[in-house]
Amino acid sequence: MTKQFLLDGQPVPFEDGQTVLEAARAAGHYIPSLCWHKDFPPHGSCKLCVVKAAGRHVSACATPAKEGWEVESNTPEINGERRGLLQMLLVEGNHFCPSCEKSGDCELQALGYEYEVLTPRFRHFFPDRPVDASHPDVLLDFNRCIFCELCVRASRDIDGKSVFALTGRGIDKHLVVNAESGRLADTDFAKTDRAANICPVGVILHKRVGFAVPIGERTFDLATISEKTLKEGSS
Amino acid sequence: MSFELETATNRESLRRVAIDPVSRVEGHGKVTLLLDEAGHVKEARLHIVEFRGFEKFIQGRPYWEVPVMVQRLCGICPVSHHLAAAKALDPVVGAVPITATAEKIRRLMHYGQILQSHALHFFHLSSPDLLFGFESPVQQRNIVGVAGAYPEVARQGVLLRKFGQEVIRITAGKRVHGTGAVPGGVNKSLTPAERDELLQDADQMIQWSRDAVHLARRLHETNGSLYDEFGLFRSHLFSLVRADGAMDLYDGHLRLRDARGQIVRDDLACDDYDSFIREEVKSWSYMKFPYITELGPARGWYKVGPLARVQNCDFIPSTLAEIERQAFIAHGDGEPIHAPLAYHWARMIEMLHAAEVIRSLLDDPDILSGNRMAEGPRGREGVGIIEAPRGTLIHHYRVGDDDLVSYCNLIVSTTHNNQAMNEAVRQVARRYLDGRQLTEGLLNHIEVAIRAFDPCLSCATHALGKMPLAVELLDAGGALLDHASTGG
């Protein structure tokens, strides 16, 4: 007999080794995430997937599903916490959607809409990190980094180049390029690298193609992030 | 240099009246008047009190971001900034020329913008003054008042603007702040369904625009002593014209006429604008004062916008608007018309032209073609000049080999009209306010003159019709003598 747990009162079947997030999405229940990616081990840093299981907050992406658990996810309490996390991410960087070429394709923006983050709540940090335009094909705008480390992991684990790293601690944490000069041009980075095509926000951008896709045809013009995620999970 | 009534002597002993902010215009500005003890106007200035800094913070951004970012200068005419920036950046990607499809879709977007902005200005912002009178009860002097007393006029105004916004939505993706133009072309063509949607209403818009021209024309024909004289001053006229002298609001070369209507500079290449336009800075305003270099700041200032364009071109290349242009020119009886209130009439002629251009472009199969983008050898610099609803708009960029913008210069329409608006304010102050007890209605005369130019004082986004007008009358010692406020 298939094992199952209850997610917001609905039975969710799972197989041994599946996490709460994987099992939930496979069963058609959306749990949000920014740092999780199916091709990498769980990272557990963005905390958007946090659910309440057996009365405790746990990261759904990193927690194996357990028979008989009662898990709360799509509740006012948990969604309120997710909204708060998004509001903090949105003020830590310079997320000026109106002039950002990632607008419409940005997962942070899409989650902002999904969780109804419609007004600023916290004071903006307004970081002032210089963009790196040294590479002929790729532009880096460090002011939008959300520290998901997908580029760090992709470059290290798939591309075998280790082009990116996070440095600094706490509030001073930031993304750097792993070159003595700190410039992307001085690495062997290529626009075909997995790391060049995995950023969920607008940090790693292919040059000269911004705004080529018209409004109405961008990723999240066609489907909300929950619709898109579940559709991809079932295909 | 200083003009008459620009700077008074003994300023410390004069009474100061401030109209702050000026209402029913785009952005924040204020007017200050300095009066002596007998109430005579000694100084009148239109100040622009906002500082934006776009030219600075666009530096260091990738060039392809520019057309989308700079359009945030304005909520009424973002398309103008969007297109001027895209035009300036076409040479950077070697798109010289862009494809026929790209140019026609950009033109469609631009004339949609002209139509919606002119409708907004005439019906929503200015018609209350024109239909009810400058000193009519302030409670009535707004678009809601117009809707009550002239419901059909208000309805047509709203629907004309809506149509223009729909043209923009279909070409740029959104009614306000879209992304249609990109360096090298456009990011979408029209589908047959989108074209047909616009075609449904296009003829009606031409008819209503024509009615609006006649409404503006009647004001001059029936009350010439007011409309032909109010705030009158004479100046040069400056605008783009097409190579054959026709009106063209998207592209062309620059032409300057003197106050008597003689062409004094023609065939000025857009790329060379900085060799024949200089800007003077004055300590009391954030807006610069442009002038023609050779003529100097005292003589070289000029008007831009509809009043300049309708008289600067040799003809308008659409049938109905050309008939109206000829009637307009005939009203001048051999002399150029300089009356600020004639801006409204000229503006409606342009709105009619825009409606005709849109109608004609919708029949063009090129707008459905997928041949949207051009490219060629990389350039490092570009100038884009366009006739925005309010006048000549100049964007100039330099781009480094790393694709980042290294230099940006913008001269926006309202800046060209800075001296002209100040002159109009001074004329009205002399004629209507000098030596009189100031009332809200009298002060509105100043605003009526400013509104005629349809200024976009900040080129910024602000709610319309909600800006309060507060007037304080202070004595020479700074004590409050009188206070009046409206709206808010």
The string of pLDDT tens digits covering residues A43-53 is 999 999 999 99
Q: Worst-scoring range by mean pLDDT, A51-65, B68-82, B329-343?
A: B68-82
- What is the rounded average pLDDT of the residues B116-127? 91
Kindly tell me if the per-residue pLDDT of B475 is higher than 70.
no
Q: Which spans in chain A are helix H?
A: 20-26, 76-92, 107-114, 150-153, 219-222, 225-234
- Of the candidates B407, B399, B394, which has an alpha carbon nearest to the alpha carbon of residue B378? B399
B403–A contact, CB cutoff 8 A: yes
SS3 A235: coil
Closest chain A C-alpha to B271 CA, distance in angstroms: 24
- Of the candidates B255, B259, B303, which has an alpha carbon nearest to the alpha carbon of residue B453? B303
Q: Please check whether residue A206 lies inside any domain of the structure.
A: yes
Q: Where are the domains of chain B?
A: 11-51+419-486, 54-416
- Rounded to whole angstroms, what are the CA distances from B47 to B18, B282, B421? 10, 10, 10
Q: Please check whether residue A81 lies inside any domain of the structure.
A: no
- What is the rounded average pLDDT of the residues B132-154? 87
Chain A residues closer than 8 Å to B404 by CB: 131, 133
Mark whether A66 and A99 lie in a shared domain. Answer: no
Mark whether A121 and A61 lie in a shared domain. Answer: no
The string of pLDDT tens digits covering residues B361-371 is 999 999 999 99
SS3 A204: strand
Q: Are A207 and B72 inside 8 Å of each other by CB?
A: no
The pLDDT mean for chain A works out to: 95
A68: domain CATH number is 3.10.20.740
Mark whether A68 and A144 lie in a shared domain. Answer: no
The pLDDT mean for chain B works out to: 89
Q: Please check whether residue A230 lies inside any domain of the structure.
A: no
A131–B contact, CB cutoff 8 A: yes
Q: A165: which strand partners?
A: A176
Search chain A and give the residue with CA nearest B372: A212
Mutate to test the interface with A, among B79, B89, B170, B182 (most CBs of A within 10 A): B182
Q: Please check whether residue A232 lies inside any domain of the structure.
A: no
Mark whether A129 and A210 lie in a shared domain. Answer: yes
Residues B241 and B255: beta-carbon distance below 8 Å? yes
For helices B342-362 and B319-331, give the axis angle rounded to 10 degrees. Answer: 170
What pLDDT score was predicted for residue A100?
96
Contacts 24+ apart (CB under 8 A), A224-227: A224/A110, A224/A113, A224/A114, A225/A32, A225/A107, A225/A110, A225/A111, A225/A113, A225/A114, A226/A30, A226/A32, A226/A114
Kindly tell me if the per-residue pLDDT of B270 is higher than 60.
yes
Q: Are B404 and A213 inside 8 Å of each other by CB?
A: no
Cα–Cα dist B479/B44, whole Å: 20
Instruction: Count CB-CB contacts under 10 A for residue A158.
Output: 14
Instruction: Tell me whether residue A52 is exposed, middle or buried, using C-beta atoms within 10 angstroms of its C-beta: 0 to 12, 13 to 18, 19 or more.
Output: middle
Domain hosting residue A118, numbered range? 94-222
Mark whether A115 and A178 lie in a shared domain. Answer: yes
Cα–Cα dist B14/B26, whole Å: 30
Mark whether A52 and A104 lie in a shared domain. Answer: no
First-to-final CA distance of chain B: 37
Residues with Cβ within 8 Å of B219's Cβ and at least 6 positions away in sequence, in order, are B130, B227, B341, B344, B345
Chain A residues closer than 8 Å to B402 by CB: 133-134
The string of pLDDT tens digits covering residues B238-261 is 999 999 999 999 999 999 999 999
B285–A contact, CB cutoff 8 A: no
Share of chain B above pLDDT 70, in %: 91
B54-416 folds as Cytochrome-c3 Hydrogenase; chain B (1.10.645)
Mark whether A108 and A218 lie in a shared domain. Answer: yes
Dihedral (Cα; B46, B52, B56, B60), 10-degree rounding: -150
A211–B contact, CB cutoff 8 A: yes
pTM of the model: 0.91
What pLDDT score was predicted for residue B478?
61
ipTM of the complex: 0.93
A128–B contact, CB cutoff 8 A: no
A56–B contact, CB cutoff 8 A: no
Search chain B and give the residue with CA nearest A99: B69
Question: Based on the structure, what is the number of domains in chain A?
Answer: 2
- Mark A77-102 as b/e (b = at least 16 C-beta within 10 Å): ebeebbbebbbebbbbbbbeeebbbb
What pLDDT score was predicted for residue B73?
80
Mark whether A124 and A214 lie in a shared domain. Answer: yes
Mark whether A199 and A106 lie in a shared domain. Answer: yes
What pLDDT score was predicted for residue B460?
24
What pLDDT score was predicted for residue B471?
47
DSSP secondary structure code for residue B134 in this structure: T
- Rounded to whole angstroms, what are the CA distances from A231 to A62, A226, A234, B348? 22, 8, 5, 51
Which residue of A100, A209, A214 is in closest CB contact with B188?
A214
Quickly state the pLDDT bin for A80 (edges 50, 70, 90): very high
Which residue of B65, B72, B404 is in closest CB contact with A101?
B65
Q: Please check whether residue A80 lies inside any domain of the structure.
A: no
HSE, side-chain direction, 13 A CA sphere, residue B202: 22
Which one has a higher pLDDT value, B418 or A163? Answer: A163
What pLDDT score was predicted for residue B349?
98
Chain B residues closer than 8 Å to A137 by CB: none
- What is the rounded average pLDDT of the residues B324-335? 96
Mark whether A50 and A162 lie in a shared domain. Answer: no
Q: A5: which strand partners?
A: A12
SS3 B181: strand
- What is the rounded average pLDDT of the residues B42-71? 86
Give me the residue label for tokens 């009043």: B307
Q: Are A214 and B177 inside 8 Å of each other by CB?
A: no
Mark whether A113 and A64 lie in a shared domain. Answer: no
Quickly state the pLDDT bin for B25 (edges 50, 70, 90): low
Mutate to test the interface with B, among A128, A215, A222 (most CBs of B within 10 A): A215
- Rounded to whole angstroms, what are the CA distances from B411 to B117, B288, B396, B417, B483? 19, 9, 9, 11, 36
Q: Are A216 and B173 inside 8 Å of each other by CB?
A: yes
A184: domain CATH number is 3.30.70.20
- What is the rounded average pLDDT of the residues B297-313? 96
A212–B contact, CB cutoff 8 A: yes
